[in-house]
Amino acid sequence: MEASFMTRARAAPKAENEFSAFERFFREHYPAVVRIAFGVVGEAQAAQDVAQDVFISALRRFPDPGQSEHAAAWVRAAAAHAGLNAIRGERRRDRRQQLSGVEVAPAGPEEAALDRESAAEVRRALARLPRRSAAVLVLRHSGLSYAEVAEAMNIKVGHVGTMLRRAESALRKELSDDSRQ
């Protein structure tokens, strides 16, 4: 019986015949996609929703992702962009709330200081960055290597450092501008 199980386990493609090609792809890449989305939206349920949207789109685009060299890079980049879309939508809603007077009064200086690097502030700053800068920033800080970021963004590896440095500098500036407002 042991031999039977071990033989099946080693014959991976046969043993996994219950898994569709897309399910294998999903299981391999979902953790990275949700991690990237989490880095952008900063909230578990929202990150899972973003990841769902990404894979639904991927299912249409790459029904057999094993046949595509770009599917993995595509879902990672899509996670960053979909996450940015989500927080930009929130930013627009925040603006509308402010215009309609729904927004509560800003906190006092002490509270503001304590909250300076709060998650919400980071999301706002991220939403104001140029889209590609924000995407590179998020992809890199989700744990992707320079080569993986380059593949996801369809840029040269040597460009990653340039974009990353500019994006990080811009993020700091946005955060300091935000705290002065």
Select from 20-28, 69-77, 91-99, 104-112 the region that touches another protein (CB under 8 A): 20-28
CA dihedral 28, 32, 33, 37 (to 10 degrees): 160
- Tokens for 35, please give them: 């991690």
Q: Which is nearer to another protein, 61 or 141 (CB)?
A: 141
Q: How far apart are CA 140 and CA 76, in angstroms?
A: 11
Among 64, 97, 162, 177, binds another protein (CB under 8 A): 162
Select from 6-14, 77-85, 88-96, 102-110 the region that touches another protein (CB under 8 A): 6-14
Please say whether the beta carbons of 87 and 40 come within 8 A: yes
Per DSSP, 142 falls in state T
Select from 4-12, 66-74, 86-94, 99-107 the region that touches another protein (CB under 8 A): 4-12
Q: What is the phi-psi region of residue 105: left when phi exceeds 0, alpha when psi lies from -120 to 50, beta otherwise?
A: beta
Binding site for another protein (CB under 8 A): 1-2, 4-6, 8-9, 15, 18, 23, 26-27, 30-31, 34-35, 38-39, 44-45, 47-48, 51-52, 55-56, 59, 117, 122, 126, 137-138, 140-142, 145-146, 158-162, 164-165, 167-169, 171-172, 175
